[in-house]
Amino acid sequence: MKYFICNIDNNSSGFAIPSEYIERIIPSERKSTSVFETEDKDIFISIPRLLRLKENAAPHGLVLKTTGSKKILLLTPKIYEELEIPEEEIKDLPITLKELLVFFKGVCFIDQKLVFILEPNKLDKRVHND
């Protein structure tokens, strides 16, 4: 599957999201650690919040569309790379992290960078069920 890879902190870690779920990429430098509903009733979620990095605001976020398209808007200053990641390269999270990082399906290493793999279906189910 093809993923968009974004850096999180000083190029030592990042996150990946399947490109097929992304409707649009919006360049953004605004740092946030919040989750909130927009005027259009869409849901904004900061990536640091998903990674439990409450003290580390970063300019990465997702907007989950609640009407019409079920695609996601990705807010980020830059896409580090668009890359095909074979499923066998994605390692399961340890049990303790799995309980904390419920929206991620695993991790992999790309250029010696620890990359957390986002599972958009888990976000979608949680938002649309709440």
What does the pLDDT look like over 93-111, one tens digit per residue?
988 888 888 889 999 998 8
Residue 62: strand pairing partners: 45, 74
Q: Convert the pLDDT of each residue in 36-81 to its tens digit.
A: 777 878 888 888 778 777 666 677 888 887 776 668 889 888 898 9
Tokens for 110, please give them: 């790309």
Judged against a pLDDT cut of 80, whether residue 10 lies above it is answered with no
How much is the pLDDT for 30?
78
Residue 129: the pLDDT is: 44
Alpha helices (H) in the chain, listed in sequence order: 47-50, 95-100, 120-129
**Higher-pLDDT residue of 81, 34:** 81
Note the pLDDT of residue 51. Answer: 79
Please provide the average confidence, as pLDDT, over all residues in the chain.
Answer: 83
Q: How far apart are CA 130 and CA 128, in angstroms?
A: 6
What are 92-101's contacts with CB under 8 Å, separation 24+? 100/52, 101/50, 101/51, 101/52
Amino acid occupying residue 128? H
> What's the Cα-to-Cα distance from 6 to each of 9, 20, 24, 69, 97, rounded to whole Å?
10, 16, 15, 23, 20
| Cα 39 off chain centre by | 22
Q: Looking at residue 38, what is its pLDDT?
A: 79
pTM of the model: 0.82
